[in-house]
Amino acid sequence: MQRYFLATPITATVGQTFTVAGATVKHWIKVMRAQPGDLAEFVTQTQQVVVAELVNSDGQTATATITAVTAPKVELPLPVIIACGLSKGDKPEQIVQRGTELGASAFVFFDSQWTVAKWAANKRERKLDRLAKIAQGAAEQSHRTMIPSVTYEADLTHVLVNTTYDTGVVAWEESAKQGESSQLVQTLKTMTSPQRLLAIFGPEGGLAPQEVNTLQTAGITAVGLGPRIMRAETAPLYLLSSVSFWCELV
């Protein structure tokens, strides 16, 4: 069933009627050609999922009646904020799309000292808008109950200051396990739901020594992600998969 995120609060009770507008109507009514009686899923702003039946639409707004209400548990027990140095080409898009499927709660892109890619100030808003749309599409497709936010910070210090998190890690080449298990596992073992994990990734060229110092001073733990070298856009996917495996499957 098609799924949409609601932009305004509703009363999620069976039999209640609500109205949708904008892009949701455009997609549901014009693209999907929904007819009165057709069903769709809508995610409320409190992460409930309602099934609703189309009553009528004038092409601008649509009215629907709730037929069922659920509150599925599909979000990671430990919210993960993915912070990446700006990388080239469509890598930010790939990180947001796949990272949303894998459960990230937020994405932060930052200007890193060794970043080759730059976002010109006058294009930044447009880039963030585009990434927000990709996050929404991926959240709908993967049946998430929240849309990850996508923001920009001028440097790593601003990421640390402006992000709310309980524990921070930075992806790092780790020569070997430290004792019984890796730093990543040791870190995850100290966390309990709903503590928030900030996971930082350098751009293609890695982080500069000064940035590494900043992270050490802030108490961010360097964690290895296995013995193979991953590209900038693959490492966040490894981390998110590992957090899911650890919290949701083990």
Name the residues that contact a second copy, by CB under 8 A: 72-74, 98, 101-103, 141-144, 177, 181-182, 184-185, 224-231, 234, 237-238, 241-242, 244-246, 248-250
Rounded least distance, CB 76 to a second copy, Å: 9
Rounded least distance, CB 214 to a second copy, Å: 25
Rounded least distance, CB 249 to a second copy, Å: 4
- 228 has which bridge partners? none
Residue of 190, 147, 146, 193 whose CA lies nearest to 169: 190
User: How many whole angstroms separate alpha carbon 159 and alpha carbon 198?
Assistant: 10
Rounded least distance, CB 17 to a second copy, Å: 28
- 36's CB contacts (< 8 A; 6+ apart) are 53, 54, 55, 56
User: How many whole angstroms separate alpha carbon 67 and alpha carbon 82?
Assistant: 36
Nearer to a second copy, 120 or 249 (CB): 249
**Residue 140: in which H helix or E strand, if any?**
helix 124-141
Rounded least distance, CB 213 to a second copy, Å: 26
User: How many whole angstroms separate alpha carbon 100 and alpha carbon 83?
Assistant: 13
Nearer to a second copy, 90 or 129 (CB): 90
**Residue 215: in which H helix or E strand, if any?**
helix 209-217
Nearer to a second copy, 55 or 185 (CB): 185
Nearer to a second copy, 55 or 230 (CB): 230
Cα dihedral 123/129/131/135 (nearest 10):
170
Nearer to a second copy, 93 or 153 (CB): 93
Nearer to a second copy, 33 or 231 (CB): 231
